[in-house]
Amino acid sequence: MTCPNILLAITGGISAYKSAVLARLLIKAGCTVRVMMTDGACEFITPLTLQALTGNEVHTKLLDDEAERGMGHIELAKWADMVVIAPASANTIGRLAGGLADNLVTTVALATTAPIVIAPAMNQAMYAHAIVQDNLAKLTRFGYTVLTPDSGEQACGDVGAGRLPEPDDLCERILTLLAKSQTPQSLRGKKVIITAGATVEAIDPVRFLSNHSTGKMGFAIAKACMNAGADVTIVAGRGVHLPTPFGAKRITVTTADDMLSACQLVMTDDGDSIFIATAAVADYKVANIASQKIKKTSNQDDLTLALIKNPDILATISHTFPNAVMVGFAAETQDSENYAHAKLIAKNLDMIAVNDVSDKSIGFGSDDNAMTVFFAKHYGMDKMVLDKASKESIAKSLVECVARII
């Protein structure tokens, strides 16, 4: 995604100040931002502020005598890769739902073919009003994307839904929608379940067995699947502290048994389901968890823990749901290709991606990765080597691999 053009429309409302921060965040993320404002918006924040922040002229007039042919709104409508109306007041929402074109914002909305995102912001009673909700439902039917406002204390003192989301959250939602609009929808209609992060197995009330997995790779794949049009559920270990990708569902679990139960609950056995197992699941758990903290004694130099095998989540899901597409991951430190082939066959997988975590630059917690992908024999495809790149880039390549086998 290279330098997308975001046309930010600001309408009248106290939360217009957040739009200034949003503009800067979008620019930092690599977008080119131009701004148009209603008369009401100019009462809350000045065009000069937005011009200084974006480096571009701010547009406030429907008919611009300085624009070519005096139709600046048409130029803006064609320039935008996405139109974002934030905040969107009840007044502007009503005008858009009624098909009016009586100011710059409403006219551009009718003239553009770019996707339009609306972020409502208003008093909680106004937002809950049946007319506003009907207008939002109508805009959704027309193809607009309506973002859900935050709940909390409002500038007027009321408490409820209607707050414009914080700029960083709003920026993340917009970038996700933008990526989706510019990504081939190769997984449209598919249901993807992804496991991510480490499981935790208790020894006693204060100690546990786990590993260094952060869930970065799994969450990057979840985001790439979302962008490709899939309905995504992430089953994540409790130690994963990454934000849930906008639009994805998340289930947080602790142990391997918990993770297996959660996966069985959300899986379906059909050709539209894809199971991607990136989690670093503990192979063993303590046979008998101590009910109290195990104490160190002066005459005891050694401690022996009896361990028993955890369930093999990927193998269990693969054999329980044979019609779903199965994608495995293997983090190895030696002889990775042979281990990958063995897992591919033993667990009846369609595809497996293996990486060498002995290389610290692509191991647990790193921002980069490198993988080799192997496919089941019946696909007739050679292995694919994914050279070292960011985990986001690797995730996109892996989604392309999944799209090829479905």
Among residues 182, 202, 235, which one ends one of the domains? 182
Q: Say whether both 148 and 205 belong to one domain.
A: no
Q: Say whether both 203 and 97 belong to one domain.
A: no
Q: Say whether both 32 and 140 belong to one domain.
A: yes
Q: Say whether both 32 and 112 belong to one domain.
A: yes
Q: Is 169 annotated as a binding residue?
A: no
Q: Is 352 annotated as a binding residue?
A: no
The domain that holds 377 is classified in CATH as 3.40.50.10300
Of the residues 156, 171, 225, 401, which is catalytic?
A: 156
140 vs 383: which has the higher pLDDT: 140
The model's pTM: 0.85
Q: Is 170 annotated as a binding residue?
A: no
Q: Say whether both 239 and 119 belong to one domain.
A: no
pLDDT digits (tens, 9 = 90+) for 315-332: 999 999 999 999 999 877
Domain of residue 197 covers: 191-404
Q: Say whether both 231 and 129 belong to one domain.
A: no
Tokens representing residue 101 in the block = 């074109």
pLDDT at residue 268 is higher than 80: yes
Among residues 182, 213, 246, which one ends one of the domains? 182
Among residues 123, 155, 182, which one ends one of the domains? 182
156 catalytic per annotation: yes
- In the chain, the number of structural domains is 2
Q: Say whether both 224 and 368 belong to one domain.
A: yes
Q: Say whether both 239 and 373 belong to one domain.
A: yes
Q: Is 345 annotated as a binding residue?
A: no
Question: How confident is the model over 197-219, as a mean pLDDT?
Answer: 94
Q: Say whether both 329 and 196 belong to one domain.
A: yes
The domain that holds 123 is classified in CATH as 3.40.50.1950
Q: Say whether both 206 and 333 belong to one domain.
A: yes
Residues 6+ apart with CB under 8 A from 98: none
Question: How confident is the model over 223-251, as a mean pLDDT?
Answer: 95
DSSP string, 168-231: HHHHHHHHHHHHHHTS--TTTT-EEEEEESB--EESSSS-EE-----SHHHHHHHHHHHHTT-E
Residues 6+ apart with CB under 8 A from 26: 6, 8, 33, 171, 174, 175
Query: Which pLDDT belongs to residue 156?
Result: 81
